Chains A and B, each alone.
Chain A
Amino acid sequence: MSQAVLERLKQNSVIAAIDSSAFPKTIPLDGILANDTRVLRLKAGEIVVREGDYGNSAFLIMSGKVQVVINPPLTAQQLGRQSARPASFGRAIAQLWRRSTTPETRDISRYGALGLTSSDKKAIFLQDFPAVLKGRTTADIGAGSLFGELAALGRTPRAATVICSEDAEMLEIRWQGLRELRRFDAGWKRQIDANYRNNALKAHLQDTPLFAGLDPATLQKVADATLFETYGSFDWSSSFQRSGAADSLRQEPVIAREGEYADGLLLIRAGFARVSVKQGAAERTLTYLSAGDDFGLSELYGGWKGGAPITETTLRAIGYVDALRVPSRILEELVFPKLTAPPKSFLAFAARPLAEDSMREWEIEERLVNGTMAMLIDLDRCVRCDDCVRACASTHGGNPRFVRHGKTHDNWMVANACMHCADPVCMIGCPTGAIHRSEAGGTVVINDDTCIGCGTCANSCPYNNIRLVEIRDLDGRPVQDEITGTPIRKATKCDLCAGTPGGPACVRACPHGALSRVDL
């Protein structure tokens, strides 16, 4: 961002209201604005963000107006959604001739003309949008408003589609910048939280089955009463990497403790939480909760029915948890009368034989529950033939994108292949945004063209599933930085064989049915 733009930006009332002195010297406000923001000019009908997309930026409207489509959502066709790379048989055949025994060759001529950001995507216009929006619940947002910050910060999919209702100018703030603004400016923090309560919370509550069917006024009542809580560390992965998984249960922040008085329902909005119960001298892990799950409902219901609302199990944050607390009186007033059957207690999991706990505990200890497409290998079937690795290599120009080695429990191994985490910590800190969620499906992919090989993602990944490779040109010569002589590196990882029909080649290649990609 040029200095002139920056100066003009500072004229904006919202930006001007930021107290730049609150920022540390190492992270000056100007730096944030210059590096993590950019000004976009959008035309009426242009889609700003699409529901379901993973986005890593928030938008501050500087002028103009946007409309948030709340209900019913637009169809995928209306959103102009396209698959990242349509699967093609032809491309699969072409791979057969691209199998090189020279590792990591790249057509480096492609890199020359590219900028640092990957968000040069084509704008999608919604034709005749007033007609499209007719009959849909929408919310108008005008100048000075911030939107998209919750998805960016929580690394959750966009909750709603936002369309420019008139020509607009807006400031796109990447989540790194947003995080700093929220951290160092009280006003922004207040506003983001308020925005959350006003914009996302209701939508979120509406999506919660318990509150489905409430009218807007009642829902507002719930939203007003709901508390907004965060546990654990945002950058949990670095501490996890440092300390390992040993005895992590005791280090995890407690959200609700067994035996305590339950005062509200906990709704997990992001992250993972462990449910455990005392057993003998230690605690048994019963299960884990992830985004969308709730905790404490059965106890509160029991209390409403006349028993003591004593929490039966302990809830701990695994890493980072974003949770909502809905007070029990709201539930007693609005929800419980409508329930026909008592909600299930987590204690039901305790009926499981003690000896079968280990697998679940291992998954949680090792944070494997984060994975949505973990590569799980049954070592009792695997003949170690490496057909999966060869298949991977042959779909990636002769280069494997995982290592058939990894954390092992009993006869199960979770290999060092990208798990496409629900909470993709690897995306934290990528300076160019090369690592991103694909627009459809949420597969975490790295744009090789924009990756600068800094290694941030690889270091962030708690599972060692991203590897940096030194690239070579098409003639097989190592590519070096002309000035420093350091090899040019690229971050690589499993991309679930995007662009290849038939799904991940590793699964297809396993002759013994030992390998599968699973959502743990």
Chain B
Amino acid sequence: MTDTNRFSHDRSPYERPNFPFRCGREAAFGRPCPRGPTGSGECQGMADCAPFRTRKVVVDDASGEEREILRWECRRPAHAGGPCAEGPRPDGACSCTHPPCAPQPTIRKQRGRWALLAVAGVVSIVLALVGLGGMGGIPSSIDPGALSGKHAQFTAEQGCVACHAGHSETLTGWAGAIFERKAISDGCVSCHAFGAENVAADAPASPLVFAAHNSKFPERTDAPTADCQGCHTEHRGEHASITPVADGQCQSCHVKTFENFAGSHPAFGANFPHESARTIKFSHTNHFGQHFQDARYADKAPEAGCTTCHSANTQADGRLLPGSFETGCMNCHNEAIREKGITIFALPELSDPTLTASAAESCGFAAAEVDPARGLIAALADTLPAMESLSAAVAAAEPDAIAAAAEKLAEAQSALADAQSELADAVEPDAISFETLSPAFAYLLGVDADDMDAYSEPAAEFLVASAADGRTALEDAITARGGDPAALLAGLSAELVTRVTCAWTANAEYEPLQYPESGAGWATGEYQVSYLPTAHADPVVKAWINFALASKGSDVEQAEDFRAQALDPSNGPGRCFKCHVAPEADAAPAIAVQWAIPRQDIRPFTTFDHKPHLNVLDQGQGCATCHKKVEVGMTLADDAKRPGAHPNEFLPITQGVCADCHHEGGVRQDCSLCHRYHADPSIRKRKL
């Protein structure tokens, strides 16, 4: 160390850090031997040199003989100290010998060994745990993390292959997997369905199932598609939520991007949330403002306020639908329903009375059993004596006689009038018929209800046929118009039809037959066949209304009157539309009545849960905290005033109402709180 020349060129060899082994004596911090180990780690330093035998020939001066001198010479290299002092042993062995060392690998060499060991360790542990993994709680080297709770049992029977087809594949399949990528989503939709058409157990998944919002926008061919795992990442642990949706994910498609809900969510609809088409004309204003204030009906007022009808338990798609007719309206409005029915046909006046003759035959009696003329004469004959006796009484000026005679005369006159009338009836049978056809009848026959000449013949034919065969003619007519006789004539007996038509044909006194006898349903009073609703939502009435509405587009002229009658809330079946909203007559080619409040929300991607909001209602305000009634003098948005819209009873709920709580630092305000991605998510009906 003090010797500055100890590393001079002749005293130190090149250091060779590229060699993998160092002299073992270095490991004990001794002085290494000059030769060092071989490249493969064998000690070659047991002797410092390999002595060399030199041969020298000398000539002996005395004898002149040549002598060969053999000597061992040290050949220790200079950097190891040069020839040693002792020199080689007589046998030529080096005298500077050391016990062999165990050469030590350099850190670099060891580093390589450790790295190989690490690779081998990783590979063997991985392979071992592929085989052993899962047995007795040994972790598996393919363990990707626990499934979320709902999927946790999936692996119970089939194992990983329940979702991962690759799990069961052979090694070549594994190798091929790198070049071929299949979506795991196909497995998801074998259980999860989106849209009713997919719910069946074995229905093939619609190609649209991976389209944005599933099959909701089939016409949007440019809509992006997404695999399930784009959002749903499994194996994140049992309690991990696998359905997080970031606002940004919504906004990657929805180009109306905004910072957050409270700040810049697009404004709600002008009449939100009341923009749905009305189905029931229920006026909160009238009921609460007038009817329930009336002492007569005060006892009918809902005891629990709004929630009497709008229970949080009946929540559907976030809406608190009102209770049914039976639980609410029926208390007051039941009787009125039974008051007005529909007249299918009333027996008409015909232009040619003889038409009825043929019908009489089928009814089993002759036409015109009574001769009205003879009756008239008899009555006239009865009148004459009465007049004579009156004259006599007047002449006698006998008051009692006069009175009696006058009474007698009056009776005779009355009988004469009756006879006259009978005669007239015999000549003109209308006397006991209607001069127009009912709209339904006119529609069925396809004739002008007011033109007697036009309708007489078909009506008579129809009646004659009805008299003969009961319902058959009616059924045929209905069928011809595309109706369903079974529904439209449910409960109508053939006998009833026969009787009423025969009575009409015979121009006989008709005994009204109540059928059934409850006072509602089919009835034949006054020479007509009519139907009175038996209760709310009577199927026959609904069938007739639907039949009438279905006539839209028919080329039968009378259809319009028929529909008008069916929709007229002042009379007939149209009475339904006093409460139910009538379809707009000139709306679509085929119009239908929305009888029930639709369960399908008009905002399929929006959800709302009233329950969590109930505890933040203002004291005394209740539901009105959000649902504020329109007060006099308030101005409503035009949208709210449109015909058919909800009565202008409640103010729209603006975004600001929600944002009172849902804002930065307040309650959650991310998209997925109110909006959902999937349309109609459901689980397929599996064969169990």
Whether chain A touches chain B in the assembled complex (some CB pair under 8 Å): yes
Chain B residues, Cβ within 8 Å of A403:
7, 12, 14-15
B434 in contact (CB, < 8 A): no
**A487 in complex: contacting residue of B8, B16, B77, CB < 8 Å:** B77
> Are A393 and B54 in contact, CB atoms less than 8 angstroms apart?
no
B18 in contact (CB, < 8 A): yes
Complex formed: what's the CA distance from A464 to B20 in Å? Answer: 26
A26 in contact (CB, < 8 A): no
Contact with A along B42-76 (1 / 0, CB 8 A): 00000000101110000000000000000001010
Contact with A along B12-48 (1 / 0, CB 8 A): 1111111110000000000000000011100000000
Chain A residues, Cβ within 8 Å of B78:
468
Interface members, chain B 647-680 (any A CB < 8 Å): none
B9 in contact (CB, < 8 A): yes
Contact with B along A63-99 (1 / 0, CB 8 A): 0000000000000000000000000000000000001
> Are A467 and B39 in contact, CB atoms less than 8 angstroms apart?
no
Nearest B residue (CB) for A400: B14
Q: A398-B18, A400-B18 are in contact. Are A469 and B13 (CB under 8 A)?
A: yes
Chain B residues, Cβ within 8 Å of A461:
9
B339 in contact (CB, < 8 A): no
Chain A residues, Cβ within 8 Å of B52:
480, 484-486
Chain B residues, Cβ within 8 Å of A100:
39
Complex formed: what's the CA distance from A308 to B17 in Å? Answer: 61
A465 in contact (CB, < 8 A): yes
Nearest B residue (CB) for A99: B18
How many A-B contacts are there with CB distance less than 8 Å? 76
Q: A398-B18, A399-B14 are in contact. Are A485 and B7 (CB under 8 A)?
A: no
Chain B residues, Cβ within 8 Å of A487:
75, 77
B10 in contact (CB, < 8 A): yes
> Are B17 and A390 in contact, CB atoms less than 8 angstroms apart?
yes
Interface members, chain A 431-470 (any B CB < 8 Å): 455, 458-459, 461, 464-470
Tell me whether chain B's interface is mostly helix, strand or loop, or mixed: loop
Complex formed: what's the CA distance from A393 to B13 in Å? Answer: 14
Chain A residues, Cβ within 8 Å of B54:
484-485
Complex formed: what's the CA distance from A468 to B79 in Å? Answer: 10
- Min CB distance B555 to A, Å, is 94
**A404 in complex: contacting residue of B15, B18, B19, B73, CB < 8 Å:** B15
Nearest A residue (CB) for B17: A386
> Are B18 and A468 in contact, CB atoms less than 8 angstroms apart?
no
Nearest A residue (CB) for B20: A101
Chain A residues, Cβ within 8 Å of B77:
470, 487
Chain A residues, Cβ within 8 Å of B7:
403, 405, 416, 464
A238 in contact (CB, < 8 A): no
> Are B16 and A103 in contact, CB atoms less than 8 angstroms apart?
yes
Chain A residues, Cβ within 8 Å of B17:
386, 389-390, 400
**B10 in complex: contacting residue of A386, A401, A455, CB < 8 Å:** A455
Chain A residues, Cβ within 8 Å of B38:
101-102
Give the size category of B's interface with A: 20 to 34
Tell me whether chain A's interface is mostly helix, strand or loop, or mixed: loop
A199 in contact (CB, < 8 A): no
**A486 in complex: contacting residue of B13, B16, B75, CB < 8 Å:** B75
- Min CB distance A379 to B, Å, is 16
Complex formed: what's the CA distance from A282 to B9 in Å? Answer: 34
Chain A residues, Cβ within 8 Å of B13:
467, 469
- Min CB distance B93 to A, Å, is 15
**B18 in complex: contacting residue of A390, A402, A455, A466, CB < 8 Å:** A390
> Are B40 and A101 in contact, CB atoms less than 8 angstroms apart?
yes
Nearest A residue (CB) for B19: A101
A394 in contact (CB, < 8 A): yes
Chain B residues, Cβ within 8 Å of A405:
7, 15
Complex formed: what's the CA distance from A102 to B54 in Å? Answer: 27
- Min CB distance B585 to A, Å, is 89
Q: A101-B40, A461-B9, A484-B52 are in contact. Are A394 and B14 (CB under 8 A)?
A: no
Complex formed: what's the CA distance from A464 to B53 in Å? Answer: 32
Q: A389-B18, A464-B7 are in contact. Are A485 and B39 (CB under 8 A)?
A: no
**A400 in complex: contacting residue of B12, B16, B40, CB < 8 Å:** B16
Interface members, chain A 103-156 (any B CB < 8 Å): 103
Complex formed: what's the CA distance from A404 to B73 in Å? Answer: 34
> Are B14 and A467 in contact, CB atoms less than 8 angstroms apart?
yes
> Are A389 and B15 in contact, CB atoms less than 8 angstroms apart?
yes
**A458 in complex: contacting residue of B9, B18, B50, CB < 8 Å:** B9
Complex formed: what's the CA distance from A455 to B54 in Å? Answer: 23
**B8 in complex: contacting residue of A400, A402, A464, A470, CB < 8 Å:** A464
Q: A101-B20, A404-B15 are in contact. Are A485 and B75 (CB under 8 A)?
A: yes
Nearest B residue (CB) for A391: B18
> Are B14 and A101 in contact, CB atoms less than 8 angstroms apart?
no
Complex formed: what's the CA distance from A464 to B10 in Å? Answer: 8
- Min CB distance A168 to B, Å, is 42
Complex formed: what's the CA distance from A386 to B18 in Å? Answer: 9
Complex formed: what's the CA distance from A478 to B44 in Å? Answer: 13
- Min CB distance A469 to B, Å, is 7
Chain B residues, Cβ within 8 Å of A455:
10
Q: A458-B10, A485-B54 are in contact. Are A393 and B15 (CB under 8 A)?
A: no
Complex formed: what's the CA distance from A467 to B10 in Å? Answer: 7
> Are A485 and B73 in contact, CB atoms less than 8 angstroms apart?
yes
> Are A393 and B75 in contact, CB atoms less than 8 angstroms apart?
no
> Are B9 and A467 in contact, CB atoms less than 8 angstroms apart?
yes
Chain B residues, Cβ within 8 Å of A404:
15
Complex formed: what's the CA distance from A390 to B73 in Å? Answer: 36
Chain B residues, Cβ within 8 Å of A459:
10
Complex formed: what's the CA distance from A478 to B35 in Å? Answer: 12
Complex formed: what's the CA distance from A145 to B633 in Å? Answer: 131
Complex formed: what's the CA distance from A467 to B13 in Å? Answer: 7
Complex formed: what's the CA distance from A484 to B78 in Å? Answer: 16
Contact with B along A317-348 (1 / 0, CB 8 A): 00000000000000000000000000000000
- Min CB distance B10 to A, Å, is 7
Complex formed: what's the CA distance from A485 to B9 in Å? Answer: 22
What are 23 pairs between A and B in contact, CB < 8 Å? A103-B14, A244-B4, A389-B17, A393-B18, A399-B16, A400-B18, A403-B7, A416-B7, A416-B9, A455-B10, A458-B9, A464-B7, A464-B8, A465-B9, A466-B9, A467-B13, A468-B78, A469-B14, A470-B77, A484-B52, A485-B73, A487-B75, A487-B77
Given contacts A100-B39, A386-B15, 8 further A-B contacts (CB under 8 A): A101-B40, A401-B14, A403-B7, A416-B7, A464-B9, A468-B10, A469-B13, A487-B77
A-B residue pairs, 4 tightest by C-beta? A101-B39, A485-B52, A386-B17, A393-B18
